[in-house]
Amino acid sequence: MSYSWTTALSALHPRANIVRDFATTHSAKKARPRVTRQPNAIDFWRGFALITIFINHIPGLYLEPLTHRNFSISDSADLFVFLAGWALFLSVGGANEPTPTARILSRLGSRVVRIYAAQLLISCIAIAMLAKAATYLENPLLLEWHNAAAIFYDPVNAHIGLAMLTYQLGYFDILPLYVVLMMIAPVIVLIYRYAPSILLAVVFFIYLGTLVFKVSRQACRPSGNWFFTRSLGIPVPGGVSGSPTRRPWGV
């Protein structure tokens, strides 16, 4: 009969049982399999969208003519927002175990806070990088890169804009879009839960109304308005309504 080192140690002294129990518990925890989320179609298409976004943001890259924006009326930004709607559908639960409305609101609210904090953090890092580069290279023109001039030459209004998400640096406008979409996501979820057949119609007429009456949120950008929120509002409810996992019973 073979004995482990913990058995031999406990035979020498009774208090050694503590050591044996600790070693047994530690081994059991170590042997416990890790629970990981299985990859799904959303992960694949998110990766595809990220790759094409990366390609499309590099001027002159030979792969750019092959991306799908050259063959369709949408681009990777539309795909990314559509996937957000698809993920939103999955987060609200199914017919057998629907997620309580209060939990949905709490989950979406915490997501808004995290995305908002991330937007402020990366904006501050980018501004600091431009400021350091301008001072180190003694080139004040760097302070005007990527719509950053306002933060240095009109800091009061620019900082208000940063906090209100009405001022963004160049290429930093996707997270503010997500903040706004996640803020209206509870409305989308409630409409889909209780009247799924009218969701796309409601969103389409809202979108059409913004075009007809020229409703647009003013932003501190060269373009003068928040074009992302108006033009990309449909893919989120489209992702909710068009999810491949949708069932006839709705959510």
Per-residue pLDDT tens over the stretch 19-62: 455 555 555 545 555 545 566 788 888 888 888 888 887 878 88
> Which residue ranges make up each domain of the chain?
41-241
For the packed helices 174-194 and 199-212, what is the interaxial angle rounded to 10 degrees? Answer: 130
Whether the Cβ atoms of residue 240 and residue 192 lie closer than 8 Å to each other: yes
Cα 238 from chain centroid (whole Å): 17
- Distance CA(208)–CA(196), nearest Å, equals 20
Whether the Cβ atoms of residue 130 and residue 142 lie closer than 8 Å to each other: yes
Per-residue pLDDT tens over the stretch 139-187: 999 999 989 999 999 999 999 999 998 898 988 888 888 888 888 888 8
Per-residue pLDDT tens over the stretch 73-106: 777 777 888 887 787 777 766 556 677 878 888 8
Taking the model in full, what pTM does it have? 0.70
3-state secondary structure of 114: helix
